Amino acid sequence: MNLVAVMDLKYKRIVLKVSGEALAGDQGYGISPEVIRFVAGEIEAVHALGVQIAVVVGGGNIFRGLAATAAGMDRATADYMGMLATVLNGLALQDALEKRWVDTRVQSAMEMREVAEPFIRRRAIRHLEKGRVVIFVGGTGNPYFSTDTAAALRAIEIGAEIVFKATKVDGVYTADPLQDATAQKFEELSYIEVLSQKLKVMDSTAISLCMDNQFPIVVFNLLERGRLKGLVLGERVGTIVKER
């Protein structure tokens, strides 16, 4: 552990929300081995500083419940399938981290003891205190709730200081910057601004949960090397959402 760096840390316990789409990389579907190794390397670099890290993974690279619902599937069934997709991503990330000798535990909101521990709040906190990376999978365990909401909920439950939402762009924009060259980036937003302008930061349930608990969110591009490390050291990266 880098003791000098620990003194300079702005955040000592974080939740990192990694979207499934980010794990797909350029292939657009499934798990990219290159991306999963890169993400593991970014987490390892921050873990080495002494930061306690919990990760919530999405499943959109494998199955999107809302898309299946739009095609006629029962919403609850589609959401449960999406939760199962997050388990696949979580196990892949665990494997990549442990190949870097980072001690890792996967906790699932859906019971599947052969591959993951059940989510138990006090056990998750104890893992973090022992220096293990904890990966939360299975969303909240309930249909109709996204993994964004799971990230906000778990962050508050374990006493984290902030949620870092990792995407494929470097913050929140007025429009999709990958499709609109005139899109303008926000450096800072309030929860009410996100909700009233319907900005695609997190879903409204997650934003409301963070707002009610005065819990900050930073949206950034995880696929740019060193961004996560910069954030925990206090650099201004991406877009921060907090109470004005």
Query: Can you tell me the distance from the alpha carbon of 118 to that of 58, in angstroms, rounded to the nearest whole number?
Result: 18
At 2 the pLDDT is 53
Domain 3-241 carries which CATH code?
A: 3.40.1160.10
pTM listed for this prediction: 0.93
At 104 the pLDDT is 98
Query: Quick one: which H or E segment has residue 241?
Result: strand 239-241
**SS3 label, residue 48:** coil
Query: Can you tell me the distance from the alpha carbon of 129 to that of 118, in angstroms, rounded to the nearest whole number?
Result: 18
- What are the Cα distances from residue 126, in Å, to 12, 42, 55, 158, 192? 15, 23, 15, 10, 34
- What are the Cα distances from residue 223, in Å, to 38, 94, 139, 231? 8, 18, 23, 14
Which runs of consecutive H residues, i.e. helices, occur in the chain?
3-8, 20-24, 33-47, 65-70, 75-98, 121-129, 147-157, 191-196, 204-212, 227-232
**Three-point CA angle 106, 61, 34, nearest 5°:** 75
At 69 the pLDDT is 83
Q: Please report, in tens digits, the pLDDT of each residue of the chain (244 residues total).
A: 555 445 589 999 999 999 988 898 888 889 999 999 999 999 999 999 999 999 999 998 898 777 888 888 899 999 999 999 999 999 999 999 999 999 999 999 999 999 999 999 999 999 999 999 999 999 999 999 999 999 999 999 999 999 999 988 889 998 888 788 888 999 999 999 999 999 988 999 999 999 999 999 999 999 999 999 999 999 999 999 999 7
Cross-strand pairs, 241: 189, 217
At 25 the pLDDT is 84
Query: Can you tell me the distance from the alpha carbon of 31 to that of 20, in angstroms, rounded to the nearest whole number?
Result: 8
Angle between helices 121-129 and 147-157 (to 10 degrees): 70
CA quadruple 114, 119, 211, 47: dihedral positive or negative? negative
Query: Can you tell me the distance from the alpha carbon of 5 to that of 63, in angstroms, rounded to the nearest whole number?
Result: 39
